[in-house]
């Protein structure tokens, strides 16, 4: 069987247990209706869904797509029998409490016992809330982020009508400190976005150095850890990355995406603020929504209104099973992902066919294909991408600055960027499957570059 199915039995038991809590109600059974047609429609939907890459399989090593944990999938589905809305306690009493508990556990991972935070539909909206608060505090000042930061920061700033400027990155994809300080000297910056786990490279911006600049220039620091945030629990990070994760708690706000490494279904992001008083910006008066609860509800600290309580239930259940602790089972899964990335990078570095000058800081590996020119390298990367897919190995392509590959093309390059191959090894199983991944990648390279060695 390709898919995990044990959770279907757990779910059936849980639905029966859930129903016991409402047994005192007058007898009522909703009409199921359309049984045969429903089966047919679901069968048709299953056929349509076959038109996908195998995101769940270890041979899918391309984009940031990770299968939810079975308990998360089952808990999410269980909650849909109630279909709670976490915009208000009235709409989701149990799921609101579960969200508060789960978010507090994430905040504790960064060393925060006091915080303001909630779940969102994803990292984009979570980052929007962080920059929205920054704009409320200093409406007309500039937002800065690395040119390797996620493109949504520029887009969000435009939506919020806040000035935004990208700052150059160094040859490892990290925010350049000399360029950042030079820009800060103009004195009109409200917020610097530091990324812990860039989308292209998984690079970690030098957070200790950025914090030192904050002491001198007085800006607000937002950490976009949507991808890499959970890696702070691991014991195998390199020195610079470890130093960055050790000071995340000094940031003003943090974003993390449980639907990436947190084993959750889409969409589940999380925004956290170190200073709970920023909740004053969310205040609103609603004459029609809240009647039965005098307690603070999540709708008062969120820009989104209706939000799936099922996301909170799934996250709570997963963290109940796999606590967010150093040395725990969840941390060990992340360490396996990083070990797989280091293994792949070592193999790439030893292969004549490839150029891999940037060691992975997390679990993302990027490499170029050797060629006489940037154009030839890019063309070969695209061909190997297709050849690997024919062997059921699914990678990704990424455009990177040629400057990140110093000395590879000594003549003046004809382009500023080169198309590279990229692998996101975010499944713990990737570590055990690395021999098979390498075998398929080597065979694809041999097909395109018969004279090159990948031994």
Residue 416's SS3 state is coil
- Whose CA is closest to 266, among 215, 325, 311, 316? 311
What separation in angstroms does the CA of 12 have from each of 15, 20, 75? 5, 13, 11
Strand segments (E) across 382-430: 396-401, 417-424
pLDDT at position 386: 98
Give just the sign of the alpha carbon dihedral 234, 238, 244, 247.
positive
Interatomic CA distance for residues 241 and 203, integer angstroms: 9
| Contacts of residue 249, Cβ cutoff 8 Å, sequence gap at least 6 | 110, 111, 112, 274
Interatomic CA distance for residues 450 and 20, integer angstroms: 65
Please, which residues bridge with residue 228 across strands?
Answer: none
| Contacts of residue 417, Cβ cutoff 8 Å, sequence gap at least 6 | 399, 400, 401, 402
Residues 164 and 142 sit within 8 Å (Cβ to Cβ) = yes
Residue 320 buriedness (CB in 10 A; 0-12 / 13-18 / 19+):
middle
CATH topology of domain 329-448: 3.90.1150
Element (H, E) at 366: strand 364-369
pLDDT at position 63: 95
| All structural domains of the chain with their residue ranges | 89-286+293-321, 329-448
pLDDT at position 290: 46
pLDDT at position 450: 77
Q: What angle do CA 229, 306, 115 make, to 5 degrees?
A: 40
| Contacts of residue 178, Cβ cutoff 8 Å, sequence gap at least 6 | none
CA atoms in the 13 A half-sphere facing the CB of 435: 1
pLDDT at position 293: 46
Task: Let me know how long the chain is.
Answer: 455
pLDDT in tens, the chain (455 residues): 688 999 999 999 999 999 999 999 998 877 667 888 989 999 999 999 999 999 999 999 999 999 999 999 999 999 999 999 998 888 899 999 999 999 999 999 999 999 999 999 999 999 999 999 999 999 999 999 999 999 999 999 999 999 999 999 999 999 999 999 999 999 999 999 999 999 999 999 999 999 999 999 999 999 999 999 999 999 999 899 999 999 999 999 999 999 999 999 999 999 999 999 999 898 766 554 544 444 556 877 888 989 999 999 999 999 999 999 999 999 999 999 999 999 999 999 999 999 999 999 999 999 999 999 999 999 999 999 999 999 999 999 999 999 999 989 877 677 899 999 999 999 999 999 999 999 999 999 999 997 766 65
Interatomic CA distance for residues 114 and 99, integer angstroms: 16
CATH topology of domain 89-286+293-321: 3.40.640
Residue 160's SS3 state is coil
| Contacts of residue 394, Cβ cutoff 8 Å, sequence gap at least 6 | 53, 54, 59, 60, 61, 62, 388
Residues 68 and 265 sit within 8 Å (Cβ to Cβ) = yes
Interatomic CA distance for residues 389 and 438, integer angstroms: 13
* Intrachain domains 89-286+293-321 and 329-448 with the same fold: no
- Whose CA is closest to 271, among 73, 134, 75? 134
């Amino acid at each position: 069987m390709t898919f995990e199915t044990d959770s279907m039995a757990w779910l059936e038991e849980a639905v029966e247990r859930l129903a016991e809590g409402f047994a005192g109600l007058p007898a009522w059974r909703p009409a199921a209706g359309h049984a045969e047609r429903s089966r047919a429609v679901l069968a048709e939907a299953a056929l349509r869904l076959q038109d996908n890459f195998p995101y769940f399989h270890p041979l899918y090593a391309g984009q940031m797509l990770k299968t939810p944990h079975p308990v998360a999938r089952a808990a999410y589905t269980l909650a849909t029998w109630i279909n709670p809305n976490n915009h208000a306690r009235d709409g989701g009493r149990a799921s609101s409490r579960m969200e508060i508990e789960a978010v507090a556990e994430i905040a504790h991972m960064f060393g925060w016992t006091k915080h303001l935070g909630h779940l969102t539909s994803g990292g984009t909206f979570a980052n929007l809330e962080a920059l929205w608060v920054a704009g409320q505090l200093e409406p007309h000042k500039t937002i800065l982020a690395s040119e390797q930061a996620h493109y949504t920061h520029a887009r969000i700033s435009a939506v919020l009508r806040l000035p935004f400027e990208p700052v150059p990155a160094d040859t490892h994809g990290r925010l350049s400190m000399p360029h950042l300080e030079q820009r800060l000297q103009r004195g009109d910056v409200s917020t610097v976005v530091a990324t812990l786990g860039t989308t292209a490279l998984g690079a970690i911006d030098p957070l200790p150095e950025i914090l030192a600049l904050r002491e001198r220039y007085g800006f607000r620091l937002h950490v976009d850890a949507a991808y890499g945030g959970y890696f702070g629990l691991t014991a195998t990070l390199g020195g610079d990355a470890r130093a960055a994760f050790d000071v995340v708690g000094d940031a003003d706000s943090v974003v993390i995406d449980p639907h990436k490494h947190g084993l959750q279904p889409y969409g589940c992001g999380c925004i956290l603020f170190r200073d709970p008083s920023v909740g004053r910006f969310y205040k609103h008066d609603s004459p029609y929504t809240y009647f039965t609860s005098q307690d603070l509800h999540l709708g008062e600290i969120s820009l989104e209104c209706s939000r799936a309580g099922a996301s909170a239930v799934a996250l709570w259940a997963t963290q109940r099973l796999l606590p967010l602790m150093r040395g725990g089972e969840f941390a060990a899964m992340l360490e396996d992902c990083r070990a797989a990335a280091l293994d792949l990078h070592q193999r790439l570095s030893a292969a004549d066919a490839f150029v891999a000058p940037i060691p992975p800081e997390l679990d993302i590996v990027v490499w170029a294909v050797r060629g006489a020119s940037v154009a030839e390298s890019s063309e070969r990367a695209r061909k190997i991408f297709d050849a690997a897919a024919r062997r059921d190995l699914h990678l990704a392509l990424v455009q990177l600055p040629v400057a990140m590959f110093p000395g590879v093309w000594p003549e003046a390059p004809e382009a500023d960027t080169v198309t590279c191959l990229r692998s996101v090894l975010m499944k713990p199983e990737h570590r055990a499957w690395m021999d098979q991944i390498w075998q398929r990648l080597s065979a694809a390279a041999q097909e395109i570059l018969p004279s090159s060695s990948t031994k």
